[in-house]
Amino acid sequence: MLNSQMKFLAVMLVFAFCASGCTTHSREKEKEHEAFLAGQNAALRRELPQTAGVTIRGPVQNPQVPWVDGLTLAQAIATAVYLDAHEPKQIVITRNGESAAIDPSVLLNGTKIPLQPGDIIEIQPQ
């Protein structure tokens, strides 16, 4: 009887050892996969401002405007659907960390201000 209990215990120990080794290997593979995905996501985030389009901050219905070649400030604001009843007090364009203020009356005169992917437009209402 003691001999069969020892065999049973030995089999259980071997099984437990194998199971814990498989779990560790499986968890290790899972961690590797998670690290790979995190790297992929980081790379996509670095590329996002160059390909995502233009962000409009202020009273607009659509704050993300898809990028198209030749996009102008007036087109971006029209696509974003400006919601304020009054014309903006000021428009600020931020590109690569540098900002430039635009007088809104320039747009009403028909001046075309080209945008680039990743630009951030801040519309300051009256």
CB atoms inside a 10 Å sphere around CB 123: 22
Q: Identify whether residues 47 and 67 lie together within a single domain.
A: no
pTM for this entry? 0.59
Q: What is the pLDDT of residues 38-95, one digit of tens each?
A: 676 666 556 554 457 999 999 999 999 999 999 999 999 999 999 999 889 999 999 9
pLDDT at 7 (0 to 100): 63
| Beta pairing, strands 120-124 & 90-95 | antiparallel
Q: Identify whether residues 62 and 102 lie together within a single domain.
A: yes
Give a three-class secondary structure readout of 44-107: HHHHHHHHCCEEEECCECCCEECCCCCCEHHHHHHHHCECCCCCCCEEEEEECCEEEEECCHHH
Please tell me the total count of domains within the chain: 2
3-state SS, residue 115: coil
Q: Identify whether residues 105 and 60 lie together within a single domain.
A: yes
Q: Identify whether residues 11 and 58 lie together within a single domain.
A: no
